[in-house]
Amino acid sequence: MKKSASRFSPVTSVLYPLLFGVLLIALWQGQVLHKLLNTTTLILPLPTRILSVIADNLPAIAKDTWATVSVILPGLVIGSVIGYLLAVFATNSPRFGATGLNIIAAISSIPTVALAAVILQWTRDVSSDVDVRSYVMKLVIVTVVSTASMTLNAYRGLTELKPFALDLMKSYAANKMTVLFYLRAPNSLPFIFISLKVSVPACVIAALVSEYFAERITGVGRRIRECILQAQYSTAWAYIVTACIIAIVLFAILMASEKLIMRKRNS
């Protein structure tokens, strides 16, 4: 039974979503969705129209895509590292860590829109260069989002140990650093990937939302806003599709990395 389930897992995890996507695009192209949603091809352009806009504006879209990705990746990495270090601190100092975790949990519940508006005001004095100010603002928002997710999940991985494992380490008079490197850190690895699965799409959304508020008109999120304000809906949808592609590619890279790393860990 296990072999059978393993054999069909690629079908359920890849083929079914792919078929659903093909069906959705077919209904979209056939204007069935337009009838169901009671809208027009002006508001909801056909997929062929969106693809033609992407092809015609590829250099500009590529430039804006890089502007967005160059915020997402550093913010994700910096936030994840900070979050993990905070989780380690909370694990080794339960007295202060419990309070810190409650604060981080509260921060994670703040809507990105509200967070972006506040951080925009905080970063106005960072530099006289509008490009620097805008980048720092977006980077801070993405970092905060990824930090909160990593802290809470990594803490679970660092503390949810097998009962006998910690007792065994104590019986060998292992210090905190030894326990951390040889027991807690390896145990937290699956939880790190759980956190990243949450952080990757959240960071993409955070980057797009932060670009709405940024002073510099650049990035996929800002282009979506500008195109909608100018009633250029086909171009706006081209950037929306681009945002989806960014999220899918980053998530696919994460899933492949998890499979590779966990396979080596378990071998």
CA–CA gap between residue 50 and residue 65 (Å, rounded): 16
198-209 pLDDT per residue, tens: 999 999 999 999
The single residue listed with the structure tokens 């304000």 is: 229
CA–CA gap between residue 141 and residue 106 (Å, rounded): 15
- More confident site: 238 or 106: 238
- More confident site: 221 or 117: 221
CA–CA gap between residue 90 and residue 101 (Å, rounded): 7
Query: How many residues are recorded in the chain?
Result: 267
Residues 6+ apart with CB under 8 A from 2: none
Cβ contact 207:138 at 8 Å: yes
- More confident site: 95 or 221: 221
- Percent of all residues in the chain with a pLDDT value above 70, rounded to a whole number: 94
Q: Does the structure show a pLDDT above 50 at 4?
A: no
Least confident of 32-36, 196-200, 208-212, 262-266: 262-266
219-264 pLDDT per residue, tens: 999 999 999 989 899 999 999 999 999 999 999 999 999 888 888 7
Least confident of 28-32, 156-160, 190-194: 156-160
Cβ contact 60:131 at 8 Å: no
CA–CA gap between residue 68 and residue 229 (Å, rounded): 20
Q: Does the structure show a pLDDT above 50 at 2?
A: no
